[in-house]
Structure 1
Amino acid sequence: MQTIKLGNIEKLIIHTIGNKNNEDGVNFSDSLTDFGSVEDIIRKLVEKNFKFEELYQFYFVPNLDLNPMYTFISSIFENNSDQNFVEQTKNSGRYLYDKSTHPQIKPGELYVFYMNQSILDGEEVDCVGIFKSETKETVLKVENEQSNYRLRDIHGMNIHKLDKGCLVFNTERKDGYLIAVVDNTNKSSEAQYWRDDFLSVRPKKNEYHQTNEFLSIAKQFVTKQLDEDFDLSRPDKIDMLNRSVDYFKKHETFDKQEFEEEVFANNGVIESFRKFDQIYRQENEMELPDSFEISAKAVKKQSRIFKNVLKLDKNFDIYIHGNRDLIEQGVDENGRKYYKIYYNEEN
């Protein structure tokens, strides 16, 4: 994982971008925005919202140079004059407006800033930051009127949480730069225009991405494919999910053959997994090596969504964390299903 320390904001500009489908239009600034009194607030907003475990890169089919945002950002890095910065941010705003056609997309302010002296793995790099404010917060302002006070409501941007944003670091240009992305408002697939349509980015193929993707493959196999090929109980499948996560927690380096033998421990299951893995990679256009360094951050993220709960009607939830031998399944003489659980001590 890259070590990143953000630098100083050199220049900032704000534009307003509406929803094209609603014919909201755009409103561009012709000059830079004075941000001196709020620079610390903007820096804290950026530092709080951006995570650098999973990084992205611009891409475009058939050629990276055809990605409009890649072109606009490259121009800013090549020519950092105020005039060119303003012009390229307007180009970015026009392009964002063209992509803002889904009815769920709200109008908002587009902030673009240039940051210098950021440190990435010990090297100084410049950075272009872009974020859009769509959700407005309401605060009450107290105004002193001679011998009395009055309250007035003011609507503005949340200074703690970003709606959408990206940081583009001026490194690895030929591969599409290094980019951090945040999108906290549109989680549904039909509305994820920021990352896919506007930026056109994809995850950088580092250890975080590789760990995350392979754990996803293992989870999909156990939860969706195993039932078609084998007659396994729910505790058996939970046990496989637990062993999958445990392998990544206990090892620093991933080895596919070793993983298969430790987690599945059955030639038939291993063969089924290999077929599923191959088809899954082809369908999702995914390239993964059979050996890579394991990212502890990715393991921690994925382990949260690996369900190890055995739900029995609406009466019981049994959490299975390990040692499959301590739980037995059966049916009594009256046809009622049961689980028998063994333990050493009660906590």
Structure 2
Amino acid sequence: MFDFSQTSIQGIAIHRVGSKARGNELSLSQRLTQISDEEILGILKTYFLQPFRQPEFYSFSHETDLSFNEVYKFAEKLFENPDNLFETSVSIAKHLFQSSNHPNIKDGELYVVLFTHCVVEDELVDAIGIFKSETKDTFIKIYEKQDGFELEQHQGISIRKLDKGCLIFNTEKDFGFKVVAVDNTNANDEARFWKEIFLNIKRREDDFYQTSGYINLCKDFVKDVLYHDGSMDRAEQVTLLNKTRDYFAQTDIFNRDEFEERVIRKPEIVDAFREYKNEYQQELGCDLKDSFTISIDAAKQAKKLFKSVIKLDKNFHLYIHGGRDRVEKGFDRDKGLNYYKLYFDAEG
């Protein structure tokens, strides 16, 4: 979905943005950061772009009109005139500082980067990257002397994990651009400022959105409903998740009626699923369609989310990949214990 192999950094501006709520200051650079070392540029490219692997797209939004979205306006002008990178970066830094009103928002370095030659869904486009590093790691530098070695403690940024970032691709401007975003530092409500307040972006309700939405719906339905009400034993629940995973992996077009008939089957479970889906959509404010093209990238999530395992006390793990008719569950009255009975043709 993304190809950054030929992507290059055309310019970079760095500022330090303090937490306004804590009374810390905004420290602005006076010029672009000049980097001539190709190795450092390669490290930065990996640091900035590696987190963006899934095509989970957002678009800029505003309750009144898109033109009132600050970052959207900055991006629009910068794409029109890339020579204004530094001036635009200052405007973005000031906007981020004004958005940092929660006391839990950390100080950090802001990077505004101009990229060229990004391939997004087979389209070659330029991109603007806005990144923020907040977490500092401690590392040790070792110096060799004539008679031995000396150690020094330093603090710096880990290039293995980007704290916050977004990529704005120069495509579909009239719809708020295509945007991808990450926030790895805090999942609490106060940290939602990066996507909701600073960027003001909303997820696109595309095929990736629909596919991942249904996969999460099915996972939560099993966990929140079937696991608690006892309408299915654990082996049947695992089988249902396996069938869901296989359906999304083997089907091109999702159809709700077909999915319910092939995967869920039992009428009473179908009714419970539909009721849960309505509550799920209202609670999350999402709209899951009855038919859509299944996203291959999103369907791969099911392999990670759906666990084909039943944990029995602390002694056994039972993996079920199919053949539900060869698994029996019962209760031994003499021993006062539950049991599973498995039928098989041959040992592996």
The alignment partner of 2:50 has SS state of helix
Q: How does 1:5-84 map to 2 (within 5 A)?
A: 7-37=7-37, 38-82=40-84
Shifted more, 128-137 versus 316-325: the winner is: 316-325
Identity percentage of aligned residues = 37
Amino acid at match of 2:63: V
Aligned to 1:216: 216
The answer to whether the 8 Å contact 1:57/1:177 transfers is: yes
Change (3 A) 1:178 1:230: same
Distance 1:337 1:40 in 2: 57
SS of 1:53's partner is coil
Q: Does 1:193 align with 2:193?
A: yes
Counterpart of 1:272? 272
Note if contact 1:4-1:52 (Cα within 8 Å) is conserved in structure 2: no
Deviations 1:211-269 (A, max 9, x none): 10011112222222346777322222222122111111221221211111011112232
> Deviations along 1:148-191, whole A, 9 cap, x unmatched?
87544332222333221111111111211111222222233443
Unaligned runs of 5+ in 2: none
Tell me the secondary structure at the aligned position of residue 343 of structure 1.
Answer: coil
Tell me the residue number matched to 2:346: 345
Aligned amino acid, residue 67 of structure 2? D
- Give the Cα separation in 2 of the matches to 1:336 and 1:152: 60
Q: For 2:42 and 2:4, how far apart are their aligned partners in 1? A: 18
- Residues 97/172 of structure 1: CA separation in 2 closer, same or farther (3 Å cut): same
SS in 2 for 1:9: strand
TM-score, structure 2 as length reference: 0.88
Describe the shift of the 1:328–1:168 C-alpha distance in structure 2 as closer, same or farther (beyond 3 A).
same
The corresponding residue for 2:128 is 128
Q: For the Cα contact (< 8 Å) 2:11–2:32, is it kept in 1?
A: yes
Contact 2:12 2:33 in 1 (8 A): yes
Paired with 2:264 and 2:246, the residues of 1 have a C-alpha distance of 13
Change (3 A) 1:33 1:251: same
SS of 2:181's partner is strand
CA distance 1:147–1:230, change in 2 (3 Å): closer
Q: TM-score, normalised by structure 1?
A: 0.88
- 3-state DSSP class of the match of 2:24? coil
Question: What amino acid is the match of 1:111?
Answer: Y
CA offset digits 1:258-299 (Å, max 9, x no partner): 111011112232233223323322332222332222223222
Cα distance between partner residues in 1 of 2:159 and 2:231: 53
Query: Partner residue of 2:253?
Result: 253
Asked if residue 89 in structure 1 is aligned to residue 89 in structure 2, the reply is yes
Structure 1 residues 309 and 101: alpha-carbon distance in aligned structure 2, compared to 1, 3 A threshold = farther
State the SS of the aligned residue for 1:41: helix
Q: Is the 8 A contact 2:240 2:264 kept in 1?
A: yes
Cα 1:259–1:318 shift into 2, 3 Å:
same
Equivalents in 1 of 2:50, 2:345: separation in Å? 44
* Corresponding letter in the other structure for 2:319: Y
